[in-house]
Chain A
């Protein structure tokens, strides 16, 4: 056998130590963005270099890794990262949420409830929730130091003044443990309530911006809102066309050039699990019908 060309999980040990120290600080200060010396990874910024570095620093041979991209296990980004760790760390991979011990995600939280033995690693493009309101790092850092978050409320208020409701649909700001305002990465705000009091540890890695932050398990995460305009998760008002789920987050898929469209679960593992369990939507594919017939014959 050839000698391995890379260290276990790609990163060298000194880099892992540095990232691990940052992760411990991030857990100790929920929602605070810990600066870290992000490395160049064998993929471009924007493809999950932060999440990949966090995953590489925590991953062990006994872990089972799941990677999702907008809820899907089957997109290029998810498959590439899964293969990357299968190759460099030899870990088992899965698409089943319940089987995974480490789940790296680009902007969705699985529909299945996470458990205490799981770690959810988010890929984050812009970790600073105040960045588009205040471009200067020195200023945003001071605003965090003073817990001066009025500007964020002004932004949400301007949404209401302009549109009649809070129009922010993703990267919806949250306050962690009643202290730090945090960007939950561009997850749809539908997922925000799942962050609150979650049994799993949540880690966030931003490679280009060189920040790591965390939400410990069982930590309060509140989406910012107003008494008269409470936070409301958004969901298309339709059942999934494949599994008829009424409570999952849906993707809208355009099917023709005449305005035809279908809504399907963004979480492919959840959707496939429901279909295998016999749930059918209006556009269910044939194989599952056959399965149902077999079951009734036998």
Chain B
């Protein structure tokens, strides 16, 4: 049993760490496929990565229902840490979540189970924060879309392996859809709903 005092700390400097983390995430979202670095300013409870923890402290609060996958939810430290540092309510129903924290991508639920927004309010969708193995080695993905000058090459080891195939639903649903933030330790890559995968190699 961990007490609050034993939990990993939040940001030492709440204001400036949140600002620099946000700029990294904003740049990632504005330039899909580009790898942005988060300067880790906080502790992270297992199995949460440093980047994920910083994003949580930057974007989550009482207004953002969270959905945790089994890997995250089974860690009482994660649940306690999120509750203590962000106050965000953890919900069981993924379709009403503002953010979903995915610790084990291999068992990512069908994307239709998350909020996809409505045609009138496409912004009312779930943003997936998906922890992956690596964002600098593995398969190559060629990405196109707003924010990308021509094409962007992303090299990443991602589970689920068919993530980009699944994200084809964004093409059919746009402007509804799912935005994904990939995190590997302190590296982040965002795949907003406008990004299309053109080809991939190994």
A residues neighboring B (CB under 8 Å): 7-8, 13-14, 16-18, 20-30, 32, 34-35, 57-61, 116, 141-142, 144-146, 177, 179-180, 199, 201, 215-220
Contacts and interface: CB of A to CB of B under 8 A. Distances in A.
B179 interface: yes
B146 A8 contact: no
A60 B23 contact: yes
A177 B194 contact: yes
B61 A17 contact: yes
Given A17-B59, A29-B175, A217-B30, A24 B127 contact: yes
12 contacts: A17-B61, A18-B63, A30-B194, A32-B123, A58-B19, A58-B22, A60-B16, A144-B120, A180-B175, A217-B30, A217-B147, A219-B146
B29 interface: yes
A27 B29 contact: yes
Interface size class of B (residues with CB under 8 A): 35 or more
A218 B120 contact: no
Contacts of B91: none
Nearest to B180: A28
B162 interface: no
B19 A60 contact: yes
A196 to B, nearest CB: 12
B18 interface: yes
A217 B25 CA distance: 15
Contacts of B31: 116, 216-217
B76 interface: no
A166 B46 CA distance: 61
A149 to B, nearest CB: 14
Given A24-B179, A26-B123, 13 more contacts: A17-B61, A20-B59, A24-B26, A24-B59, A27-B147, A35-B123, A60-B20, A141-B121, A216-B29, A216-B30, A216-B192, A217-B30, A219-B146
Given A14-B61, A20-B59, A179 B174 contact: yes
Contacts of B1: none
Interface of B: 14-16, 18-20, 22-23, 25-26, 29-31, 58-61, 63-64, 98, 118-123, 125, 127, 146-150, 174-175, 179, 192-194
Contacts of A34: 123
A24 B123 CA distance: 10
A35 B124 CA distance: 10
Given A27-B147, A29-B122, A179-B174, A17 B30 contact: no
B22 A61 contact: no
Nearest to B64: A21
Contacts of A116: 31
A141 B119 CA distance: 9
Nearest to B179: A28
B116 to A, nearest CB: 12
A146 B179 contact: no
Nearest to B191: A28
A5 to B, nearest CB: 15
Contacts of A8: 15-16, 19
Nearest to B13: A8
Contacts of B148: 218
Contacts of B15: 7-8, 13
A28 B192 contact: yes
A34 B63 CA distance: 16
Contacts of A30: 146, 194
Contacts of B98: 21
